Amino acid sequence: MRYAIVTETYPPEVNGVALTVQGLERGLRAVGHTVDLVRPRQPCEPVSDADQGKTSVLRVRGAALPRYPGLRFGLPAPLVLQRWWQQRRPDAIYIATEGPLGWSALRCARRLGIPVASGLHTRFDAYLPEYGAAWLEAAALRWMRRFHNQADATLVPTRELQLFLQAQGFARVRLLARAVDSGQFTPGRRDPALRAQWGIDGNGLAALYVGRIAAEKNLQLAVKTFRRLQRERPEARFVLVGDGPARAKLADENPDFIFCGVQRGDALARHFASGDLFLFPSRSETFGNVTLEAMASGVATVAFDYGAAREYLRCGQNGAPVADDVQFIQQAVALAGNDQRRHALGQRAALDMQRLHPQQVVAEFDALLAELAAARRPHAHRAA
């Protein structure tokens, strides 16, 4: 089969959407499919398209995303996409993002009669209150609904989100679960030398955050939580992995925090496993891949009870899903003060994550795209 994947974000950008899309693309190639990838051109990349194994990459024009250095969005490319897909028609297309490139890809696919699955990876409506635009939430949800309802299926990572979208009038919402590579993210990556760089000895406590450092991540709650647990564990350090528009201000206000910047691959796995307590205060995630990565790394996790936490965190068994800010602080402080319990939760979480298999997610994704392609073929024959 030939599939096309359209995305506004892709590595070397580091975010949950980029890495999820890359995992799906590589998984399809690993089982023998041809995959054409459409994405914005990164600065300093060649203008010409490049073939990498069975993946052809069509790089289109893009622009920098305001307030997010290093991230870009794709500009509309209707004529380029039409020529591309007429020459190498895919059996089905997956559009991972709702930006200008995603919209032009959706319209082009509809004109050419190619089946489309869309992915809802980001709750843009939930981000708006953090940027002083709560009054636009309803409009943003309508805009998202209009986009996704033109697709043959909309893929979401949790049953919770599927039910929410269906109640909001989204049609053909399908569940595609997530998984984590427990070969990469594992307690065995714990690195005493890295902990020593953070100023932590064998009995010290590293509170950890991994993700974008931005307003929508609710990091002020993480700061408040750390300052509270620091009363019980004065030697504790707060380690933040990632970057974003709020980093400079946060660092200026908290000179004792350790900012490690963006980490990738094995280095990211070492940073995860070298933590002791993962604080994830975000309330705006569609899923939250970092929750699974922390759990697989054997790090006790405190997160709000939705998205990945609702799917996989079990209170008192492998972590601490919470309902509100008060519980978030209470659970974090309690775990910071109980080394034995914190360690036990982390070890159980790592065992639980070993049951998730990325290959199974790719197989379900493959089956769904093949289903859409098969459903469209009879219509194409009648039209011919």
Helix/strand number for the chain, H first, E second: 15, 16
**Digit-coded pLDDT (tens) for 317-328:** 999 999 999 999
On the question of pLDDT at 80 being above 50, the answer is yes
The CATH class, in words, for 187-353 is: alpha beta
- What pLDDT is stored for residue 342 in this prediction? 97
H/E element holding 241? strand 237-241
- Asked whether residue 383 carries a pLDDT value surpassing 50, the answer given is no
| pLDDT tens figures, 211-252 | 999 988 999 999 999 999 999 999 999 999 999 999 999 999
Q: Rounded to the nearest 5 degrees, what angle is found at the Cα of 20, between the Cα atoms of 72 and 346?
A: 120
What's the rounded mean pLDDT across residues 240-267?
95
Q: Which of 89-103, 122-136, 165-179, 270-284 has the lowest mean pLDDT?
A: 122-136
Higher pLDDT, 135 or 58: 58
pLDDT in tens, 274-286: 999 999 999 988 8
Quick one: which H or E segment has residue 2? strand 2-6
What is d(CA 296, CA 262) in angstroms, rounded to the nearest whole number?
19
Pairing of strands 206-210, 237-241: parallel
pLDDT for the residue 211: 94
Share of the chain above pLDDT 70, in %: 90
How far is residue 216's CA from residue 233's CA, in Å, rounded to a whole number? 28
Written as six digits, the tokens of 173 are 């919402």
**Interatomic CA distance for residues 311 and 309, integer angstroms:** 5
Is the pLDDT reported for residue 260 higher than 80? Answer: yes
Backbone angles phi, psi at 87, to 5 degrees: -80, -35
Which part of the chain has CATH 3.40.50.2000?
A: 2-179+357-383, 187-353
| Burial group, residue 231, by CB count within 10 angstroms (0-12, 13-18, 19+) | exposed
Distance CA 168, CA 166 (A): 5
Quote the tokens at residue 167: 């109640």
Asked if residue 89 has pLDDT above 60, the reply is: yes
Residue 216 and residue 127 in contact, taking contact as beta carbons nearer than 8 Å: yes
DSSP symbol at 4: E
User: What does the pLDDT average to over 94-104?
Assistant: 93
> What pLDDT is recorded for position 48?
45
Q: What is the pLDDT of residue 202?
A: 76
pLDDT tens figures, 15-32: 888 899 999 999 999 999
User: In whole angstroms, what is the distance from residue 177 CA to residue 157 CA?
Assistant: 5
Q: What is the mean pLDDT of residues 309-322?
A: 94
pLDDT in tens, 107-133: 999 999 999 999 998 776 666 666 666
Report the pLDDT value the prediction gives residue 131, as an integer from 0 to 100: 65
pLDDT at 373 over 90: yes
C-alpha span between 381 and 34 (Å, rounded): 23
- Tell me, what's the pLDDT at 56? 87
For the cut 90, the answer to whether the pLDDT of residue 141 exceeds it is: no
Structural domain 2-179+357-383, CATH architecture: 3-Layer(aba) Sandwich (3.40)
Summarize the confidence of residues 65-70 as an average pLDDT.
64
Examine the pLDDT at 351 and tell me if it is beyond 70.
yes
| Average pLDDT value over all residues in the chain | 90
pLDDT band at 68 (very low <50, low <70, confident <90, very high): low
Dmax over CA atoms of the chain, in Å, equals: 73
pLDDT of residue 51: 46
Residue 97 has pLDDT above 80, yes or no: yes
- Compare 192 and 379 and report the one with higher pLDDT: 192
Lowest mean pLDDT of 8-12, 50-54, 173-177, name the range.
50-54
